[in-house]
Structure 1
Amino acid sequence: MDHPGTFVLIMVVAVLAPILAHGVSRWLSVPLVIFEIVMGILIGPDVLGWAHTGDVIDVLSELGLAMLIFLAGYEIQFDQVKGDTLNRSVVAWLITLVLGLAAGILLAHGDGFEKGVYIGTALTSTALGTILPVLRDSGDLGSRFGTVMMAMGAVGEFGPIIAMALLLSGRAPAGSAAVLIAFGVLTAAAVFWALRPKPPWFSKVIVTTLHSSAQFAVRLVFLLLVAMLALAEVLGLDVLLGAFAAGLITRLVLNGAAPESSEVVLSKVEAIGFGFLVPLFFVVTGIEFDLDALLAGGGTLLLLPVFLALFLVVRGLPMWLLAPRDLGRRDRSALVLFGSTALPLVVAITTLGVEAGKVEPGEAAALVGAGMLSVLVFPLLGMRLRARPGAPRQRGSRAADEAESW
């Protein structure tokens, strides 16, 4: 049973984290998620021992992860992520998958193919849900660089989920492919419905309830999310696949039915996600971080810098080689750094690996620790490369444009 004090501590951390991030920002721009995870470690059982998770908090944390992936899926703009950029992104990730599986199997030291798959798949992810707020706040999201990063990151989010469904489902490859095809068909049907013109009353209900207690659009968004999560669960797929698909479908529904209200609806959903569920997920990640296993001795701690370097090689090298030719050297380097940032799926994959008995807790802690360092270091370096002296400020993000208006 959850201790009520733990819930209070989690929310205290969630409130303190933005304050600390704001205070430090005058010297160093540290991603908010770092404060959430580090303070979660501090209050967790391996340091101060104040916070211990239970069933309710774990469920809310899983919802937070689903919301993070959902919002990442929502951010994908189909009119920009297409053509040659998308093709390059897919090929880059396929090369990443081959490199990741090879590295994972080598690091498994003969402990089994499945262990290598867990480690290798974790190395192929991109923390798009963590990167997008950084790009949005800096005004880079609407730029050419932001478009390429969105394409590379979208494949880096979606690809590992598909790989997990194919390689870690426990089914035969043919069975896994059949289930994925079934999910794809049902998702395509949902997309077809989303693209169809909606009756006038549908748009009217969205507009008239936008600022009332009914909140039809917000309720519809969460219905779509829960429905896609349930569909993935019924088919035996990872629920993150359902969350990502729900984000894609929601954008199509809102932009088609009530384009003038879609930004307001999104801001309400983001308030629930980034205001409550997502920070709860990251704080709980810190609380459950196995610091003792990481520091237990042996070569476990040495795995952390190894994994951090592998993020750059496995994920970053193919992106450097296949980045669109119109990106300069500095932008390519920044793309590698942003694209090699990984955490949410690393947490999800290593958690599954530990639960299945295929990944040791220390190895999982080293992978998650490397993911945390990537979130702290890589975006900072990437933003420094993007901040050319005298370069005009990029437009295209709501946050940046609002800041300018002040």
Structure 2
Amino acid sequence: MNPYAALVPVFVVALVAPLLARLMPVNARVPQVVLLLLGGVLIGPQLMELSDPASVTLLSDLGMGFLFLLAGYELEPNLLRQKVGRRAGGAWVTSFALAGAALLLLPGHQPSELLAAGAIALTTTALGVVLPILKDDGVLDSRLGRSVLVLGAIGELGPIVAMAVLLGTRNSGTATVLLGVFAVLTLAIAAIPERFTSLRGRFLMSLSEHGTGQSTLRLTVLLLVGLLALAQSLGFDAVLGAFVGGMVLRRWAPGDVVALEKKLDAVAWGVFIPVFFVSSGMGLDVDSIVSNPVLPLAFLVAMLVVRGGPVLLWFRRELPGGERVQAALYSTTTLPLLVALTEIAVDDGSMPTDIGAALVGAGVLSVIVLPMIASRLRRRGDDGAAGRDGRGGESRRPDDERRDLPNDGIVDTV
């Protein structure tokens, strides 16, 4: 059997997805991650049978690792220690408790693993999807942008920790102890590269960080693979190691940091992350979604209630009404972590395939619909504020004009 034949259609989808997204009308443009999933469905075992998830397992696993490495790298620890960070944490804990209570009301006796996986799935946030939208709208440094940034960070970190503790073969007490061991070992790893930040270390790294050496990029890949291996050896999913690897990298990234970030984007998004989403699409149970299309809509409504509702409650003093609604919509936007979670839960038997597919379907709807509504609410609020101030649309500053440009940053990033 030719091992490369199954890779060709996967990389064809990876190439076509962003090109197709750019050809779409701006107002109807969807994120490339959605097109990657749909492309995976098209070439997968359920339709054209050109490839299958087993043919790209290693590349897909590394893609998931890079995805969460970049997500961890975006996390700003200082914001988590501020008042807005505490409110974001309270909102997520409330969401998780609310989701668990709602799932307990389901008829029949549901396994605890399914309840835990379902509660985690309903409370995730796609920070990688939301960030480029906020940047393109020019509100990332505003009160709303900072709040959404922290909500998104907690919406990724909280579910990842919950996955490590509640899902898997070990009981929660043992998993918590091992999580502490993992945290200690991670702190030790984070302290090792301090030598690289000395003048001599920086000089040494700078000699080969570009060209054929690529020392800083290779060091980053070593960090990622090492923490993936450490997490797996302690019985946790690789997602935890990848996310923590990104946090560690943010702390001590050596050499030309701007160039390193560009290289990471090129390697991660050029090769590995698209394979992960295409592979997830190939493994998606489309038949169950088609047979019960109401279920994804029901899950989307549940996400809005259990994730968006607590944001409205906890941020009532932090944000005015309109911005609070926008923050709730952005916080409910989810897909990358949801795809990884459902894939893990289905593989280990914690979640039926039809439920996993419906949750991914709800995530796809959230990415397409919710950021669009939030952006339009913000623009309407800006227009209203301009009218009340008597400035109208002709005298706005260049920064405000940029906010009226159609948002297309979501296409380029998860």
Q: How does 1:27-46 map to 2 (within 5 A)?
A: 27-46=27-46
**Distance in 1 of aligned mates of 2:330 and 2:153:** 12
The 1:3/1:289 distance shift into structure 2, 3 A limit, reads: farther
**Distance in 1 of aligned mates of 2:365 and 2:169:** 32
Q: Establish whether residue 380 from structure 1 lines up as the match of residue 372 from structure 2.
A: yes
How far apart are 1:179 and its partner, in Å? 0.6
**Distance in 1 of aligned mates of 2:47 and 2:142:** 43
**Distance in 1 of aligned mates of 2:40 and 2:140:** 29
The 1:182/1:108 distance shift into structure 2, 3 A limit, reads: farther
Partner-residue secondary structure (3-state), 1:109: coil
Among residues 266, 282, 290, which one is paired with 1:271 in the alignment?
266
1:22 maps to which residue? 22
How far apart are 1:25 and its partner, in Å? 4.3
Aligned length: 390
Among residues 299, 302, 315, which one is paired with 1:307 in the alignment?
299
Contact in 1 for aligned 2:123/2:159 (Cα 8 Å):
yes
How far apart are 1:152 and its partner, in Å? 0.9
Among residues 350, 354, 361, which one is paired with 1:362 in the alignment?
354
The 1:27/1:156 distance shift into structure 2, 3 A limit, reads: closer
The 1:135/1:206 distance shift into structure 2, 3 A limit, reads: farther
1:343 maps to which residue? 335
2:92 maps to which residue? 93
AA aligned opposite 2:277: F
The 1:5/1:400 distance shift into structure 2, 3 A limit, reads: closer
**Distance in 2 of aligned mates of 1:209 and 1:4:** 32
AA aligned opposite 1:124: T
Contact in 2 for aligned 1:136/1:400 (Cα 8 Å):
no
AA aligned opposite 2:131: L
The 1:134/1:47 distance shift into structure 2, 3 A limit, reads: farther
How far apart are 1:141 and its partner, in Å? 3.2
The 1:328/1:208 distance shift into structure 2, 3 A limit, reads: farther
2:228 maps to which residue? 229
The 1:314/1:8 distance shift into structure 2, 3 A limit, reads: same
1:290 maps to which residue? 285
How far apart are 1:252 and its partner, in Å? 1.0
**Distance in 2 of aligned mates of 1:294 and 1:26:** 28
Partner-residue secondary structure (3-state), 1:27: helix
- Mean Cα deviation higher: 12-21 or 67-76: 12-21
1:404 maps to which residue? none
The 1:67/1:107 distance shift into structure 2, 3 A limit, reads: farther
The 1:195/1:156 distance shift into structure 2, 3 A limit, reads: farther
How far apart are 1:359 and its partner, in Å? 1.9
**Distance in 1 of aligned mates of 2:325 and 2:63:** 31
**Distance in 1 of aligned mates of 2:305 and 2:61:** 30
AA aligned opposite 2:30: V
**Distance in 2 of aligned mates of 1:18 and 1:355:** 29
How far apart are 1:82 and its partner, in Å? 2.9
Q: Establish whether residue 281 from structure 1 lines up as the match of residue 276 from structure 2.
A: yes
The 1:328/1:31 distance shift into structure 2, 3 A limit, reads: farther
1:182 maps to which residue? 181
Q: Establish whether residue 325 from structure 1 lines up as the match of residue 280 from structure 2.
A: no
Structure 1 unmatched ranges of 5 or more: 402-406
Report the aligned-residue RMSD. Answer: 2.5
**Distance in 1 of aligned mates of 2:144 and 2:195:** 32
**Distance in 1 of aligned mates of 2:265 and 2:140:** 17
1:74 maps to which residue? 73
How far apart are 1:314 and its partner, in Å? 1.0
